[in-house]
Amino acid sequence: MPDRESATSTNRVLDIIFCAILAVMVLVFAIQAAGYRPESARAPFVAMVPLGILVVLNLVRMSRASSISRIKSQTIEQVGEGHTQLKKLMLFILWLVSCVAAIYFVGHYAGVMLFLVSFLRIMSKERWRLIIPLSAGMTVVIYVLFEMLLGIHLYRGVVYMLWRGYQIF
């Protein structure tokens, strides 16, 4: 059984890896959104700015908690041995990528709903009595927040655009 120091260092390494991946994603999306018209760029920046701030604050907090050389050696050890925690982290990142793919094809509302239903059922093994209301509630909250309160129309997806007769391919 691993000791407390080892478990804490493993979590710190995984936190750093996850934050670094999130930071790269935020940077790529920010560069991409900078090319949008101002009214179209609001939605990505509403999500990216707070996420970017949280990532930076978390990385600063973690770097102060331990020496950089110790974190570097723990990272090399963690990545080199293929621990199950790292596999779980990569699986979670794969789930996030699948959420982005779902949003691309079926739009924000259906994509988020599909992601939540599948993630909660497959990964969390939750009961349907919790999954359906939680997924529907989150979708409604996103709709009310963006469409009604902020006046931002979120992406509807490739399927919707094809159904409406857009020539996208």
> Three-state secondary structure along 44-99?
HHHHHHHHHHHHHHHHHHHHHHCCHHHHHHHHHHHHHHCCHHHHHHHHHHHHHHHH
Alpha carbons 20 and 93: distance in angstroms, whole number: 12
How far, in Å, are 2, 21, 92, 118, 119 from residue 123 at the CA level?
Answer: 24, 21, 9, 8, 5
Q: Which amino acid is at 52?
A: G
Residue 139 is predicted with a pLDDT of 93
What is the chain's pLDDT, residue by residue, as a tens digit (169 residues)? 455 555 555 567 777 777 888 888 888 878 877 777 777 777 777 777 888 888 888 877 776 666 666 666 666 666 665 566 667 777 888 888 898 899 989 999 999 999 999 999 998 888 999 999 999 999 999 999 888 988 888 888 888 888 888 776 6
Residue 132 is predicted with a pLDDT of 94
Burial class (CB in 10 A: 0-12, 13-18, 19+), 116: buried
Give 3-state DSSP helix, strand, coil % of the chain, rounded to 5.
85, 0, 15
Q: Which amino acid is at 159?
A: V
Backbone torsions φ then ψ of 128, nearest 5 degrees: -60, -30
- Give the number of other Cβ atoms within 10 Å of residue 131's Cβ: 17
Backbone torsions φ then ψ of 67, nearest 5 degrees: -70, 145
Residue positions counted in the chain: 169
Alpha carbons 46 and 61: distance in angstroms, whole number: 24
